[in-house]
Amino acid sequence: MLREGVQGVTRSLEATNREERIQELQRSGGEIRFLSRLLGAPPDAALLADAHAVGLVEDGWEARVEQYRVEYTRLFSCPGPNFIPVNQSVYTDILKMEPSAPDPSGCGMAFPGGELRGYLGGTSCPALVRWYTEAAFTAYDGARQMPDHISLELDFAAHLCLAEAHALVIEAQDEAAAYRDLLFKFRQNFLELWLASFSQCVASNSVSSLYRRVGARLLELPTSLDRYNPG
Q: Find the binding residues for other proteins in span 194-223 (CB under 8 A).
A: none
133 close to 115: Cβ distance less than 8 angstroms: no
Dmax over CA atoms of the chain, in Å, equals 95
165 close to 33: Cβ distance less than 8 angstroms: no
Q: Which of residues 131-170 bind other proteins (CB under 8 A)?
A: 131, 134-140, 142, 144-146, 158-159, 162-163, 165-167, 169-170
- Taking the complex as a whole, the smallest distance from the CB of residue 132 to other proteins amounts, in Å, to 10
**Dist. CA 76–CA 69, nearest whole Å:** 10
Q: Figure out which of the listed residues 2, 3, 4, 53 binds other proteins, where binding follows CB under 8 A.
A: 53
Q: Figure out which of the listed residues 116, 173, 207, 229 binds other proteins, where binding follows CB under 8 A.
A: 116
What is the helix (H) or strand (E) element at residue 114, kind and residue range? strand 114-117
Work out whether 105 is an interface residue with other proteins (CB under 8 A).
yes
**Dist. CA 28–CA 221, nearest whole Å:** 10
- Taking the complex as a whole, the smallest distance from the CB of residue 25 to other proteins amounts, in Å, to 9
| Entry field: residues in the chain | 231
Work out whether 109 is an interface residue with other proteins (CB under 8 A).
yes
**Dist. CA 25–CA 5, nearest whole Å:** 29
- Taking the complex as a whole, the smallest distance from the CB of residue 195 to other proteins amounts, in Å, to 15
Q: Figure out which of the listed residues 5, 81, 227, 231 binds other proteins, where binding follows CB under 8 A.
A: 81
